[in-house]
Structure 1
Amino acid sequence: MSAGRLAGRYSLLRPLGAGGMGKVWLARDEMLERDVAVKELTLPEGMPDKERSEAVTRAVREAQATARLRHPGIVALHDVVVEQDRPWLVMELLRGRTLGDTVRDFGPMPPDYAARVGADVLEALMVAHAQGLQHRDVKPGNVFLTESGRVVLTDFGIARQEGQATLTEQGLMIGSPGFIAPERLEGHPGGPASDLWSLGATLYVALTGAPAYSGSMADRVRATLTQPVPVAPGPLGPVVAAMMAQHPGARPDPRLVVDALRQVAAGLPAPKLPAGEMATAPSGSGGRGKLGVLVAAVVVVALAAAATTGFLLLRDRDGAAASAFTTPMDVCTLIGAQDLGGILKTANPPKAQPDSDDAGPECGYPLSAAKTGVSLQVQKDSDTVDPWSMTEVSARKLFQSQKRTWGRNDTISWTWPEIGVAGNQRATRTPVHDVKGVGEEAFGFELRGPDGRMHSAYVFYRLANLVVSASYTTLSDRPTDDQIMQSALRAAQASERTLRDGG
């Protein structure tokens, strides 16, 4: 590009918006003599040349898939130009304002108007879904209300073509906290049901003037996974709540949603939507389950793209967290009092008991009266002075070594005098198994006493350069095996959240 001209055809006149992912320019198509919008995409600093080239190729391929879409509710993509080692998307120029700006300046929309906006957007999404294209970033800032009355869904440039790798698979996931469906936060690719959820969250803003989940980025992500779906007031409230059902399979068929929205737009009562009709994505998008691998395994970076707010999840080439933990932390602070009380089912969590051995610093939380306790250890190998000096490579090796070691030992000797286990007691280990919902990789096993009853569960997980083990033990015969296993997992997840929040 030279003298503000792209591909010898598009004159860049002035920026319309700028942010961490580049700029959107007002431009002039000199060949067809019309104004257009040009989106300049940038890639992360330091990306190797080979990966940069592959990312550009994928971005062009995705843009080509987007260009096949023809619908008045979808912003038209005119051209893709690759210059300066990155793609530039040439799109139709829209005049008007976004739904987000409209609500900010004028307040919540009347239900009938919001219903028409929602129906128009959903029909546009259905056209994209019919061609295997998932938008992935439906939000108020990407719904454009033109001066002529069109409702247009923008930013299909980061859409995902079914069956094809995208920028996400190379370490970038783009979306906005509070508008990303639960299953995508858990690391699943998502599908049409995920876009429906995001549209529901967008309509919630249109109806109330505020997002369904507020707070910091981390707060919104956590709330999406753990909090009940809020219900907006008025006739659209139940419709939007159905669209935002936690499990993708529980969300209604989009055709029924369009019909319901059109009825409200016409001033009629909204029909009750049957649940469980929308098919989940063939790529395996799942339900909300645990606090997901993805939500807890990211570095959150605020950015602006096309003058709107976005969300960038940075991962390494294997999908792991890109950051490392190098500042020592007190292991006894990794599980907060509220989490600990919930796991041990007590309003008065026990005092932490720090300890350490050759494997690394450890902390126990024995609830003597209930003969129950939680234990946590941040581990290290024999060649490293402390866990915070571990590298990701050494942590991977340590994790695999631990998995092999525990897989070889069928009988274990253990003791915990503070909860009533004096001397060395013998226990039989269950087979080692993979664990989902914590860390970048995790495994677990359980211990059974001579009577065959399970009394302990262990979870080992790796997070970047750390290997952490969490355990839950109880001598009570009340908890079921599943409850014991879930308690150990909850302890591991609580420690992981603290690590990611920076202690």
Structure 2
Amino acid sequence: MSAGRLAGRYSLVRPLGAGGMGKVWLARDEMLDREVAVKELTLPEGMSDKERHDLVTRAVREAQAMARLRHPGIVALHDVVVEQERPWLVMELLRGRTLAETVREFGPMPPAHAARVGADVLEALMAAHAQGMQHRDVKPGNVFLTESGRVVLTDFGIARQEGQATLTEQGLMIGSPGFIAPERLEGQPGGPAADLWSLGATLHVALTGAPAYEGSAAQRIRATLTQPVPAMRGPLGPLVAAVMAYQPAARPDPRWVVHALRQVAAGGALPQIPAGAEVTAPRAAGRRGRARLWIAAAAAVVVLAAAGATGFVLMNRDGGAAGAFTVPMDVCTLMGGQEVGRLLLTQSPPKGVPDSDEIGPKCGWPLAGTGVGLQVQKDSDTVDPWSMTEDSARRLFQNQHRYWTKYDSVDWSWPEIGVKQPMRAVRTPVRQVTGIGEEAFGFELKGPTGRMISALVYYRLANLVVSVEYTTLSDKPTDENIKQAALKAAQASERALRDAG
């Protein structure tokens, strides 16, 4: 997409992902002739001019602090641009996949590999801590494994500089439940030891394929505050338990942790862990009242998962609206073979082809000249769609609606159906769609000849945002046929979600 130019030199190409605090774009720095990533920070609506000015000033100040973090394990910030009354962060473009995506696709990592990743992340964190910066959102989705072998810590959007509030600190819980250190859940500001705890929780996912504390946001918060760290087998089990000690003072020195991880990464044994206090047990009493408030707040917006459920969990509220989807699922199961065959007018429907990107897991059913595609989306601040709350899904849905309303053309391609080179497609007006999900909108794309080639429907069901696309290059279907095919595909996916509950 050609969506404009920033500061006369950064040409926005297409979005790479979206979240509650903004959108990340692929862009080209025309002055230096290189591709970059641009993070567009969106500010809350309804703010006064003074509030907007103060937030922009604070965001620029935070970016200046981030720019001082020069380390190969930290995504580099090249520039900050203030245009359209909001800041845009120009960063290096990384190619590869996150740790979360890697584990989801390939399963748990061998201990030596996970140890190298952990050591690289911790060295990056130590560099930030030396500059007085806390990351505060270390998690698998913010650890990026590049194609060249670099391990890069990304998204300092909620990082905190000592002695300063941050752009996103509005009295809200900052971070991702299950990866937030217990002292921060208790209302303390935290420090380097809190980032170390989050790294331990991240290593648990890398080594086992699952978080240390599972369930809804409220369940993960409650478990962090009341349950010991689950025992983990393998050479790194004792180290993960040590860095996830409930008391910050009981966690080992980060320098020792790096040394130990490097030794395991080289094929050696884990060194003896320094003696300290009880490392895993939470406090029996005396927690601050704010911790209980976080549990209550999370429970108010996330429906608790049913104990012992398998697959994904869909609960009903008063027999009506859908509840929360909390466990990952195969999105290719949202469309059956018969439904795909009817939509693509074939008795031999293709099997779903799973894929994923920064926006979330997706599945495509392509044939020559036609296809159906589906994606379950997430924002850039959440590890996967199943960790979204209803509130965050609502914001993501609204952001997608604003985005498509704002930009009226895209460079469109689908290599699997034969469109290998991007073609310019024009968007029809975005309209509300009724009768699917809790809210929905749709639009179509017209090719260079003015003929409709694709129809898209976005809908929100509880804490999930789903996009569905139907495409045909044939001249036979009418525009209405194409619209109805996309709507039928969306309805089929919604039924699959509801029926499985």
TM-score (norm 2): 0.57
For 2:105, the equivalent position in structure 1 comes to 105
* Distance in 1 separating the partners of 2:3 and 2:114: 44
| Deviation for aligned residue 1:153 | 0.5
Question: Aligned partner of 1:90: which letter?
Answer: V
* Distance in 2 separating the partners of 1:142 and 1:169: 19
2:14 pairs with 1:4? no
Question: Aligned partner of 1:24: which letter?
Answer: V
2:184 pairs with 1:184? yes
Q: CA offsets per residue over residues 172-209 of structure 1, 9 Å max, x none?
A: 44311100111111111111000000000000000000
Q: CA offsets per residue over residues 375-394 of structure 1, 9 Å max, x none?
A: xxxxxxxxxxxxxxxxxxxx
Question: Aligned partner of 1:65: which letter?
Answer: A
Preserved CA contact (<8 Å) 1:177 1:311: no
For 1:297, the equivalent position in structure 2 comes to 293
Question: Whose Rg is larger?
Answer: 1
| Deviation for aligned residue 1:215 | 0.3
For 2:476, the equivalent position in structure 1 comes to none
Q: CA offsets per residue over residues 392-428 of structure 1, 9 Å max, x none?
A: xxxxxxxxxxxxxxxxxxxxxxxxxxxxxxxxxxxxx
Q: Measured at CA, do residues 138 and 308 of structure 1 come closer, stay the same or move farther in structure 2, by a change above 3 Å?
A: same
* Distance in 1 separating the partners of 2:48 and 2:389: 19
Q: Measured at CA, do residues 87 and 125 of structure 1 come closer, stay the same or move farther in structure 2, by a change above 3 Å?
A: same
* Distance in 2 separating the partners of 1:87 and 1:293: 36
Write the mapping of 1:45-56 to structure 2, written as runs, cut at 5 A. Answer: 45-56=45-56
* Distance in 1 separating the partners of 2:258 and 2:199: 12
Write the mapping of 1:362-373 to structure 2, written as runs, cut at 5 A. Answer: none
Q: CA offsets per residue over residues 430-477 of structure 1, 9 Å max, x none?
A: xxxxxxxxxxxxxxxxxxxxxxxxxxxxxxxxxxxxxxxxxxxxxxxx
Between stretches 54-63 and 294-303, larger displacement belongs to 294-303
Question: Aligned partner of 1:99: which letter?
Answer: L
| Deviation for aligned residue 1:169 | 4.3
Write the mapping of 1:148-227 to structure 2, written as runs, cut at 5 A. Answer: 148-227=148-227
What secondary structure is seen at the aligned counterpart in 1 of 2:17?
strand
For 1:71, the equivalent position in structure 2 comes to 71
For 1:146, the equivalent position in structure 2 comes to 146
Preserved CA contact (<8 Å) 1:171 1:313: no
Preserved CA contact (<8 Å) 1:167 1:173: no
* Distance in 2 separating the partners of 1:296 and 1:264: 38
For 2:359, the equivalent position in structure 1 comes to none
* Distance in 1 separating the partners of 2:101 and 2:381: 13
* Distance in 2 separating the partners of 1:88 and 1:293: 38
Q: Measured at CA, do residues 313 and 125 of structure 1 come closer, stay the same or move farther in structure 2, by a change above 3 Å?
A: farther
Preserved CA contact (<8 Å) 2:201 2:240: yes
Write the mapping of 1:66-465 to structure 2, written as runs, cut at 5 A. Answer: 66-276=66-276, 290=286, 292-298=288-294, 299-300=297-298, 304-305=379-380, 308=383
| Deviation for aligned residue 1:289 | 5.8
What secondary structure is seen at the aligned counterpart in 2 of 1:43?
coil
Q: Measured at CA, do residues 167 and 111 of structure 1 come closer, stay the same or move farther in structure 2, by a change above 3 Å?
A: same
For 2:420, the equivalent position in structure 1 comes to none
Q: Measured at CA, do residues 155 and 82 of structure 1 come closer, stay the same or move farther in structure 2, by a change above 3 Å?
A: same
For 1:499, the equivalent position in structure 2 comes to none
What secondary structure is seen at the aligned counterpart in 1 of 2:18?
strand
Preserved CA contact (<8 Å) 1:79 1:91: yes
* Distance in 2 separating the partners of 1:307 and 1:21: 11
| Deviation for aligned residue 1:17 | 0.8
What secondary structure is seen at the aligned counterpart in 2 of 1:79?
strand
What secondary structure is seen at the aligned counterpart in 1 of 2:178?
coil
For 1:30, the equivalent position in structure 2 comes to 30
| Deviation for aligned residue 1:80 | 1.1
| Deviation for aligned residue 1:5 | 1.2
Question: Aligned partner of 1:269: which letter?
Answer: A
Preserved CA contact (<8 Å) 1:172 1:312: no
* Distance in 1 separating the partners of 2:177 and 2:12: 32
Between stretches 165-174 and 253-262, larger displacement belongs to 165-174
Q: Measured at CA, do residues 11 and 289 of structure 1 come closer, stay the same or move farther in structure 2, by a change above 3 Å?
A: farther
Q: Measured at CA, do residues 296 and 308 of structure 1 come closer, stay the same or move farther in structure 2, by a change above 3 Å?
A: same
Between stretches 44-53 and 106-115, larger displacement belongs to 44-53
Preserved CA contact (<8 Å) 2:214 2:220: yes
| Deviation for aligned residue 1:73 | 0.5
* Distance in 1 separating the partners of 2:287 and 2:208: 27
For 1:58, the equivalent position in structure 2 comes to 58
| Deviation for aligned residue 1:247 | 0.9
Preserved CA contact (<8 Å) 2:178 2:213: yes
* Distance in 1 separating the partners of 2:67 and 2:283: 31
For 2:415, the equivalent position in structure 1 comes to none
| Deviation for aligned residue 1:57 | 1.4
Preserved CA contact (<8 Å) 1:173 1:313: no
For 1:19, the equivalent position in structure 2 comes to 19
Preserved CA contact (<8 Å) 1:178 1:211: yes
Q: Measured at CA, do residues 59 and 293 of structure 1 come closer, stay the same or move farther in structure 2, by a change above 3 Å?
A: farther
| Deviation for aligned residue 1:18 | 1.4
Q: Measured at CA, do residues 165 and 66 of structure 1 come closer, stay the same or move farther in structure 2, by a change above 3 Å?
A: same
Preserved CA contact (<8 Å) 1:114 1:203: yes
Q: Measured at CA, do residues 131 and 234 of structure 1 come closer, stay the same or move farther in structure 2, by a change above 3 Å?
A: same
Q: Percent identity?
A: 78
Preserved CA contact (<8 Å) 2:143 2:153: yes
What secondary structure is seen at the aligned counterpart in 1 of 2:252?
coil
Q: Measured at CA, do residues 275 and 154 of structure 1 come closer, stay the same or move farther in structure 2, by a change above 3 Å?
A: farther
What secondary structure is seen at the aligned counterpart in 2 of 1:60?
helix
Q: CA offsets per residue over residues 41-79 of structure 1, 9 Å max, x none?
A: 123333443223222211211111110011111100111
* Distance in 1 separating the partners of 2:172 and 2:196: 22
* Distance in 1 separating the partners of 2:30 and 2:172: 34
For 1:380, the equivalent position in structure 2 comes to none
What secondary structure is seen at the aligned counterpart in 2 of 1:174?
coil
Q: Measured at CA, do residues 289 and 79 of structure 1 come closer, stay the same or move farther in structure 2, by a change above 3 Å?
A: farther
Preserved CA contact (<8 Å) 1:39 1:306: no
Q: Measured at CA, do residues 228 and 47 of structure 1 come closer, stay the same or move farther in structure 2, by a change above 3 Å?
A: farther
Give the count of matched residue pairs: 305
| Deviation for aligned residue 1:171 | 3.1
| Deviation for aligned residue 1:21 | 2.0
| Deviation for aligned residue 1:292 | 4.2
| Deviation for aligned residue 1:273 | 1.6
* Distance in 2 separating the partners of 1:172 and 1:43: 16
Question: Aligned partner of 1:71: which letter?
Answer: H
| Deviation for aligned residue 1:312 | 9.2
For 1:325, the equivalent position in structure 2 comes to none
* Distance in 2 separating the partners of 1:68 and 1:186: 30
